[in-house]
Every structure is written in structure tokens, then in C-alpha cells.
Amino acid sequence: MKKVYFDNAATTPLDEAVFEEMKPYMLEYYGNPSSIHWHGRQVRSAIEKARKKIADLLNTSPSEIFFTSGGTEADNTAIRCTIEDYGVKNIITTPLEHHAVLHTVEMLAKKGKVNLDLLDVDEKGRISLDQIEQLLKKDPNTLITLMHANNEIGTMNDIHAIAELSKEYGAVFHTDTVQSMAHFRHDLQELKANFVVGSAHKFHGPKGVGFLYVNHEKRIQPFIHGGAQERNMRGGTENVYGIIGLAKALDLAYANMDDHKKQIESVKSYMIEQLKQHIERVSFNGTSDDLENSLYTVLSVSLPPSEDNDMLLFNLDINGISASGGSACSSGSNIGSHVLTAIGSDPQRGAIRFSFSRFNTKADVDYVIGKLNEILTVSA
């Protein structure tokens, strides 16, 4: 059976060139980078080269890049250390954030450590800068934590404008850039954020490795205590081959970004066109069908109400199609997508998130549209 992988916002396949770069650090260069002997020094030097590569690509300094176990740890570190180390008393965020952010800020609010303000979002998941400014005027001793690109509905925030606002009021700005890293060019000298995040497995790198950019103007204490790794900022022996793979994956992404973007956008726009042509009463969630103003890797599709909507992903799966979804939560139920619920999506409609990578083709789209049509016809 043909297999189609349309779940690239969840994770992406490892690029073979990335794997080749990692391999020697699995087999040959196995020293502990903290060891001062030859075996250790080879590995230390490779880690520092990887850090320099990432810093160069993002136009920042290697001293501002700290390796982590991925996006979740980087988000946790930024948020929890801001509250702990800077004495910040307020957090501004939205109900649309990834759980790595949302659950962290909710925990801090529950423990009484911060006052939490959730911004209003419109039906497409957009926020208002005015509302942020009103809150900052009340108390600028605030952490603003807002994602760049939403992983479920593709809606994007203007992080440059938010960063400017944050700087103007002397607030702290953390942006979860997990979904946009390597898909958009980030210039960290230009972007006035305090914290920026990357996770390798979202751009054809290995799982379990990422980084946190910490702007040099405001440093934090370690979140994970232990050895002196990461210049005393993050204890624990480094995920050496993960770090090597992360740098290689980011390098490849930057070198080919325009081509990859063009390829992915052509698959996405073809999918939008085919869905509109073949699926009755289809609509799209967030800004995901707006090619100019959305994360180009994500398309969130909304299907007419049907008793069989609960089975949509299962039916796609048995036809070899991997996607993800989850409708808005029906009242009182805790299951479903917190993002679709927050933008007021109809819980009776089916929702599927298709997310693309440069390895997808229009033939994949044709296959998915054919199968989706069959599934919807049977259930009609």
C-alpha cells in the first residue's frame, strides 16, 4: 500500500546527509566532551563548531546558543528561569500556545508565582498588539511568551513588532519558534527577543536535541543543575551526535530554503485547490489556507459535521496516510484540540491537520484526495 506522510509538524524524516554527518560521532568520536584528553577534545571541538555554525546562520554569537534536549526543555528553561531569576510577576500568552508553554505557565499561575493573562484571539487565531500594550502599561514587569507560527493552524505572529513593544516597556520576550525555525530566516540581532527556540526533529534533524538562544543582555541561571556543561548553563553530558545533526540540518535548510519553500508551497496550494474542487463544504482553520500569511508547512482542514468524523484519522491511517487532527472539544469534554476550541471551531466539524515537508509531492496529494473522497462518500 502507498504510504503518505503528511504529519511533518509532528516530526520530519531524518535527512540522510544529516545521518552521515552524525555517524562518526556515534562510532569513532565517542569521547566525553568534558574530558580533557584527546578523545574528549575532538568531540568538544566538534560541538563548538556546531554551535558556531548555528550562531552564524542565525546571525548571533555562539555564546548565546545553549543546547537542550529539544523545544520543550528550551521553552521550560526560558519561562521558568525568567520567573525565578528576574522576579517577573506577570505572564502574557495565548490559549493557542504549544503545551510546552501553556502547561508551564498554567503551572506557575496555579502555584501563585505569576499572574497569567491570556490574550484574546480571533477566529483565525490572531492577536492584537494593542491588547499587549494595554497589559504592559498596567505592569511592565512581564514575560511575553508568544509563538511565531502555530503548529496546528499555521497562524503567525509578528514577532518583530511584539519584540519592539516588549523592549519599549522593558518586558521580557520569549518566542517559541519551533515550527518556523529552518523554514523562515531568523536574524537574531535584528529580532529583539530575549529567548528563541529550535528543535532539530522539525527540520530533518534528529529527535531529542534543540537549542535555546538567550540574548546576552539578560542572562539566566541553569534550569538543569549538574556539571559545568554548556558554560555552566545546562548540566548533563551533551547529546553529541544530536548536536552535530542539528547543526547540519539547519545548515542544509538555510542553504536550500528558497527551493524547499517553493516546493512545499506548490504542494500545499495544490492540496487547497484539490480539496476545494473535490470535497464539499470544506473550509480551513486559522490562516492556514492563506499562502502569504501562514506557516507554509501546515494546512488545517475542516470538514462538514458527520457521525463518522471521529474515525477520520483512523480511516486515513488504514489507507496508509499519516496526518493528525482532533476537533474542537465538545462542551465539558477535555479531549480534542485546545487550539481549535480557543478559536471557536465548531466541535461537530471534523478537523485534519496536513503538514508538509520537501519530501512530499503532488502525487501524494492526489492519493490523499482520492482516499478522503472514498472515506467521506462511505460515511455520507
Ligand X SMILES: Cc1ncc(COP(=O)(O)O)c(C=O)c1O
Which residues form the catalytic set?
A: 329
Map the footprint of ligand X across residues 257-316, applying CB under 6 A.
none
C-alpha 143, offset from chain centre: 19
What are the helix (H) ranges across 58-128?
A: 71-86, 99-110
CA-nearest of 207, 240, 253 to 67 is 240
Give the whole-angstrom CA distance, residue 111 versus residue 104: 11
Map the footprint of ligand X across residues 132-161, applying CB under 6 A.
147, 151
C-alpha 62, offset from chain centre: 22
Helix (H) or strand (E) holding 4: strand 4-5
According to DSSP, residue 157 is labeled: -
Name the residue whose CB lies closest to ligand X: 71
* Grid cell for residue 142: 512581564
Map the footprint of ligand X across residues 74-113, applying CB under 6 A.
75, 98, 100
User: Which range in 66-74, 123-131, 211-219, 306-314 contacts ligand X by CB under 6 A?
Assistant: 66-74
Find the shortest distance in angstroms from Cβ 354 to ligand X.
Answer: 15
Number of residues binding to ligand X, judged by CB under 6 A: 13
Among 21, 64, 176, 364, binds ligand X (CB under 6 A): 176
Find the shortest distance in angstroms from Cβ 74 to ligand X.
Answer: 8
Residue 199 in the binding site for ligand X (CB under 6 A): yes
Residue 179 in the binding site for ligand X (CB under 6 A): yes
Give the whole-angstrom CA distance, residue 199 versus residue 70: 5
Which residue lies nearer to ligand X by CB, 179 or 229? 179
Strand order in the sheet with 298-303: 283-284, 298-303, 350-355, 324-325
Find the shortest distance in angstroms from Cβ 161 to ligand X.
Answer: 19
C-alpha 3, offset from chain centre: 25
Which residue lies nearer to ligand X by CB, 178 or 244? 178
Residue tagged 482553520 (cell numbers): 285
Which residue lies nearer to ligand X by CB, 179 or 341? 179
Residue 18 in the binding site for ligand X (CB under 6 A): no
Which residues make up the interface to ligand X (CB under 6 A)?
70-72, 75, 98, 100, 147, 151, 176, 178-179, 199, 210
